[in-house]
Structure 1
């Protein structure tokens, strides 16, 4: 048996495709949930760090530093295996979504904070002079200007989150990698893993290129 039959067995790949596609659907769903929840939480944390009372600002700093220092896998294992001792039992999908959201929120908070701080202070003063409240100022004046600085690095973080969904296989979630591993055992052939790798590239490579395009486009807009 040569390397082609071992790693690129077309018959095994054909039979494993339905299994891989089921895992792909779970991977995309997990990534979408983590990105939406993590982004929303990150925006909230950035506002707390910038404008909340000092004790809350320190808590936000500790949270962002801690979540950025811990590996995603460690956070996932703590949530899935440690929380049951406190009476909180989460499914593998929910545990993975929570872990990824918490980590992404820390990175998103730093990106959003930097974007808001890059907006000239005169914009805040002008909004105040017009009688706009804090939330109206953030929604209509500050965030629209900050977003062009936030989108490129945040898009890169979102790509990383989608890659990190593969860690959910550690807690037995039926994501793309877990399904590929099961298919490998079922067919006694590593070709399903190659198929999973191809699917990851098909999804992530366009997103990587999109991130580069966004960075170039928004940098040009900012320089104007």
Structure 2
């Protein structure tokens, strides 16, 4: 019994890295994606072109390649990051690119008549976005954002390639050391618990914003 407790404890230590990376990515990628989405629907052609190139680049190349480039490639140019910083930067930029397109589609799905109605009421563009458009768009983008949230918790396993002791790598080390597959089952259960928590939070958010439908 103590062996299982020790194994679980070791894996959970790796899980702390996984959760830390998850939280940092969520905190920074979501606001960044909102700003970028607003930029993509703005009237500034040069800004739209830059943002389009950014989303095309990060959505069109593998996350693993981006992680390699940040951690192993940038030092060639004299830019060095600690493993966690490199992982966090890569994940934030990657997920912000995907969420940018999700949020852009959500905003543009709102009927244009609501923009016109808000204008008639004397509301400014920022007021229209904050009070009328975004609350409705949030409700519509929650399901795909939840999917990205689930993908993110699984993608964090990629950080093992740059030497970070995440949840899955911790489990793999014990499997290699003790020649038992039990750690993989424990890791799977932990992933499922975290995923359930993510889904639960998004379901509550959907209930909260159901008013806007």
Same fold per TM (> 0.5)? Answer: yes
Give 1:115's match in structure 2, choosing from 86, 106, 118: 106
Higher RCO, 1 vs 2 (CA within 8 Å, ≥6 residues apart): 1
Residue 134 of structure 1: CA displacement?
2.1
Using the size of structure 1 for normalisation, the TM-score is: 0.84
1:175 partnered with 2:128 = no
1:174 alignment partner, SS class: coil
Q: 1:115 to 1:21 in 2, by over 3 A?
A: same
Runs of 4+ deviating beyond 6 Å: 214-222
Judge conservation of contact 2:149–2:198 (CA < 8 Å) in 1: no
Unaligned runs of 5+ in 2: none
Residue 210 of structure 1: CA displacement?
6.5
1:1-224 superposed matches below 5 A: 12-208=3-199
Residue 78 of structure 1: CA displacement?
0.8
- How many pairs does the alignment contain? 213
Distance 2:162 2:98 in 1: 23
Distance 1:46 1:52 in 2: 12
RMSD: 2.4
- When structure 1 is superposed on structure 2, of 183-192 and 84-93 the one drifting more is 183-192
2:164 alignment partner, SS class: coil
Distance 2:87 2:127 in 1: 34
1:68 alignment partner, SS class: helix
Distance 2:205 2:13 in 1: 33
1:51 alignment partner, SS class: coil
Distance 1:76 1:160 in 2: 16
Judge conservation of contact 1:152–1:214 (CA < 8 Å) in 2: no
Using the size of structure 2 for normalisation, the TM-score is: 0.88
Unaligned runs of 5+ in 1: 1-9
Residue 182 of structure 1: CA displacement?
2.4
1:173 alignment partner, SS class: coil
